């Protein structure tokens, strides 16, 4: 491992953090220098050191997950994440992997492109991220698990697959996760929808709700905000339930117009449910692309379950349980 000292604190730049002796502080910050517009690393690093964090820089995909795993095993009590939704996702996956979701407090310093999760926490930028750490108000957030992989924000099924690489940064900022769907539609003008069988379980009431049809977009929301849409401002991440939206059929109107998307959510072909567990299965034997916090996955069946109020998260001054954007 390569280490550099800057007089105030210590930064580790490692391909792989090797063991628990790599963690000399109770508080670490996982820094992804390649997220967002890639110019945040020096500022984040110096602010983190001022706040007593040991900084661990990622060098490639998977590093943040590995750092979180080892940090939890080493007894670190706070992990701040400076990156986008993908980096937060990796850190949570690392904690889940070693059974430490409830052992470590997580903070987010938004330094990605969309920053959907940070925005849901009421944290608009890097400065607000550090102010949030100073305030030290934490809440217990639900964590979703899809096919044994945790997610904090959303699980999306449908027209998300080809969208990731071509969605513009501006659209991601404005529309959050739905920007991907919009881009996918532009790419897949002949998208017919996916034939899916969906079972939504309400474990408290011990009821099953079954739905079957062609899905244009299915959203399982835990902690997400939707700045462009009236009637679906944000999902509640502390109620032990998912907000489920199933959008059927490909809307005929111009999807490049944000007003169309807004109308779709007001009175479109949408089924809206709540539940604490879901099974989403392809009606044919083909694989279904889906995304967890924006990270793409593929499966023929997706089992989603809820870990209620499991993860302690630092929230911003403007955080609201069901906030209006």
Under the rule (CB under 6 A), what is the footprint of ligand ATP? 32-36, 58-61, 63, 83-87, 112-115, 172, 294
Question: Of 151, 115, 91, which is closest to residue 37 (Cα–Cα)?
Answer: 115
Cβ atoms of 12 and 55 closer than 8 Å: yes
Q: Which is nearer to ligand ATP, 111 or 277 (CB)?
A: 111
Question: Cβ 285 to ligand ATP, closest distance in Å?
Answer: 30
The DSSP result for 136-164, as a single string, is T-EEEEEEEEETTEEESSEEEEETTTTTT
Q: Which is nearer to ligand ATP, 113 or 154 (CB)?
A: 113
**What gap in Å lies between CA 109 and CA 55, rounded to an integer?**
13
Question: Of 323, 306, 184, 318, which is closest to residue 250 (Cα–Cα)?
Answer: 184
Question: Of 243, 241, 230, which is closest to residue 273 (Cα–Cα)?
Answer: 243
**What gap in Å lies between CA 49 and CA 59, rounded to an integer?**
19
> Residue 242: which residues within 8 A CB-CB, separation 6 or more?
144, 220, 221, 222, 235, 274, 275, 276, 278, 304, 306
Question: Of 279, 176, 292, 171, which is closest to residue 224 (Cα–Cα)?
Answer: 176
Q: Which is nearer to ligand ATP, 64 or 200 (CB)?
A: 64
Question: Cβ 238 to ligand ATP, closest distance in Å?
Answer: 22
Q: Which is nearer to ligand ATP, 85 or 128 (CB)?
A: 85
The DSSP result for 18-47, as a single string, is -SGGG--SSEEEEE-TTSTTS--HHHHHHH
Question: Cβ 211 to ligand ATP, closest distance in Å?
Answer: 29
Q: Which is nearer to ligand ATP, 164 or 260 (CB)?
A: 164
Would you state the structure tokens that stand for residue 118, as one six-digit string? 């940070």
**What gap in Å lies between CA 280 and CA 199, rounded to an integer?**
7
Q: Which is nearer to ligand ATP, 88 or 277 (CB)?
A: 88
Q: Which is nearer to ligand ATP, 141 or 211 (CB)?
A: 141
Question: Cβ 159 to ligand ATP, closest distance in Å?
Answer: 18
Question: Cβ 87 to ligand ATP, closest distance in Å?
Answer: 3
Question: Cβ 121 to ligand ATP, closest distance in Å?
Answer: 13
């Amino acid at each position: 491992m390569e280490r550099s000292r800057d007089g105030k604190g210590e930064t580790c730049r490692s391909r792989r953090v090797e063991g628990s002796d790599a963690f000399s502080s109770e508080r670490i910050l996982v820094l992804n220098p390649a997220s967002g517009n890639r110019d945040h690393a020096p500022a984040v690093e110096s602010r983190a050191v001022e706040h007593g964090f040991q900084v661990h820089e990622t060098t490639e995909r998977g590093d943040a997950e590995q750092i979180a795993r080892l940090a939890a095993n080493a007894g670190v009590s706070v992990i701040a994440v400076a990156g986008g939704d993908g980096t937060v996702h990796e850190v949570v996956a690392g904690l889940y992997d070693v059974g430490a979701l409830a052992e470590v407090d997580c903070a987010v310093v938004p330094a990605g492109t969309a920053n959907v999760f940070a925005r849901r926490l009421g944290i608009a930028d890097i400065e607000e991220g550090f102010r949030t750490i100073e305030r030290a108000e934490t809440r217990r957030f639900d964590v979703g698990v899809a096919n044994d992989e945790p997610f904090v924000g959303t699980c999306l099924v449908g027209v998300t697959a080809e969208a990731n690489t071509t969605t513009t940064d501006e659209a991601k900022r404005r529309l959050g996760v739905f920007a991907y769907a919009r881009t996918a539609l532009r790419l897949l003008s002949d998208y017919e929808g996916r034939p899916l069988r969906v079972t939504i379980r309400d474990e408290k009431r011990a009821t099953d709700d079954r739905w079957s049809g062609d899905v244009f977009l299915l959203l399982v929301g835990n902690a997400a905000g939707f700045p462009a849409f009236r009637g679906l401002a944000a999902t509640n991440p502390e109620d032990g339930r998912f907000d489920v939206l199933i959008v059927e059929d490909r809307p005929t109107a111009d999807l490049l117009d944000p007003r169309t998307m807004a109308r779709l959510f007001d009175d479109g072909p949408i089924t809206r449910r709540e539940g604490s567990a879901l099974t989403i299965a392809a009606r044919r034997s083909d694989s279904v692309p889906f995304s967890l916090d924006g990270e793409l996955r593929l499966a023929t069946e997706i089992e989603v379950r809820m870990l209620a109020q499991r993860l302690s998260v630092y929230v911003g001054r403007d955080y609201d349980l069901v906030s209006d954007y």
